[in-house]
Amino acid sequence: MKSDRRGEVFAAADVHYPAVGGARAAAVLTADPAFSVVLAETTAVLADVAPYRPGEFFARELPPLRAVLEGVSGLVLLVVDGYADLDPAGRPGLGAHAHAEFGVPVIGVAKTAFRTATHAVPVVRGSSARPLFVTAAGMSAAEAAALVAGMAGPFRLPDALRRADALARTGRPAQRQGPAG
């Protein structure tokens, strides 16, 4: 996916659930699919969220994602922490539901293997021997894997996802840290 038009926005987003309840979502917005030029970082806090239900993770994650992406114009790609689909038959995961919700391609980047996601493309980044597991909705998994491999940052987890995770957890940007192995 190449960005040749001005105004296109690429987002990496994550959601955290504090022990006190609710959710904090964060998004890192960039001007390019490598996520090398950060335009903005944003967070949204929701006081109430749906309880976790196995197989329905999307029901808990979509409202915070909706809140943090509200008002973002020009969105052409969303990268989320998780899976786009959960098995080779296409059982929808968070990414597939986000693709239907936002109408843009969604790349799911998971840090751990999911037993039924045998179709996920392993991507090794940085000096880590452990792969990320990439799935996609609205684009091919091979194209998504290539984009993740080329995303900015020297570590296993691309910088934009690391920043979104830190913002979601703390409300503050990530500090420089060692390899995420």
**Rounded Cα gap, residues 180 and 112, in angstroms:** 13
Residue 179, pLDDT above cutoff 50: no
CATH code of the domain covering residue 166: 3.30.2170.10
Confidence at residue 5, expressed as pLDDT on a 0 to 100 scale: 60
Q: How many independent structural domains does the chain possess?
A: 1
Does any domain span residue 181?
Answer: no
**CA Rg, the chain, in Å?**
15
Cα 147 → chain centroid: 12
What domain range is 87 assigned to?
Answer: 9-170
Give the angle 143-162-42 at the CA atoms, nearest 5°. Answer: 95
Confidence at residue 7, expressed as pLDDT on a 0 to 100 scale: 87
Does any domain span residue 88?
Answer: yes
Does any domain span residue 175?
Answer: no
Residue 137, pLDDT above cutoff 70: yes
| Per-residue buried b or exposed e for 87-123, using 16+ beta carbons within 10 Å of the residue's own CB | beeeebbbbbbbbeebebbbbbbbeeebeebeebbeb
Does any domain span residue 180?
Answer: no
Does any domain span residue 13?
Answer: yes
Does any domain span residue 52?
Answer: yes
Does any domain span residue 176?
Answer: no
Percentage with pLDDT > 70 across the chain: 91
Does any domain span residue 177?
Answer: no
> 17-62, pLDDT tens digit by residue?
999 999 999 999 999 999 999 999 999 999 998 888 776 778 889 9
> 64-114, pLDDT tens digit by residue?
999 999 999 999 999 999 999 999 999 999 999 999 999 999 999 999 999
> 108-129, pLDDT tens digit by residue?
999 999 999 999 999 999 899 9
Enclosing H/E stretch for 28: strand 23-30
Average pLDDT in the 154-175 region? 87
Query: What integer best gives the mean pLDDT of the chain?
Result: 90
